[in-house]
A = this chain, B = another copy of it.
Amino acid sequence: MSTVFKALADPTRRHILQMLKTRPMGAGEIADHFPISKSTLSAHFAMLREAGLVGSEKSGKNVTYWLNATVLEEALLAFASALDLNLTPGRAGGTPAPKPAERRS
């Protein structure tokens, strides 16, 4: 739970998650949106992966990332439930992005 909230505590990491909500994206494509060094961005990706919030697939020199929306939803719901918060499962907005494997099938 701590790793999830720690991952969410940074605006760049939340921005990355928001970019990935519509579709999987390559690391380079994501990097184009942020005026930060490659190593800093890699550290952000590492934290998001460690928290299980994104999945990744390497293909040659390229790494593709996608949002693990279910992991994020389940973490937030578990926390909300522990605190008796007013949150329940239910579709709030659009349709989550499919993973690359699902798109190919």
List A41-93 residues whose CB lies under 8 Å from chain B: 67, 69, 72-73, 76-77, 79-93
| Chain A, interface residues (CB within 8 Å), range | 35 or more
Q: How many copies does the complex hold?
A: 2
- A73→B96 contact, CB < 8 A: no
Q: A87-B76, A88-B87 are in contact. Are A2 and B6 (CB under 8 A)?
A: no
Q: A2-B11, A9-B9 are in contact. Are A88 and B85 (CB under 8 A)?
A: no
Max chain B CB contacts within 10 Å: which of A8, A10, A11, A67? A8
Sample 6 A-B pairs with CB under 8 A, ordered by A number: A1-B11, A73-B80, A77-B92, A84-B94, A87-B92, A88-B88
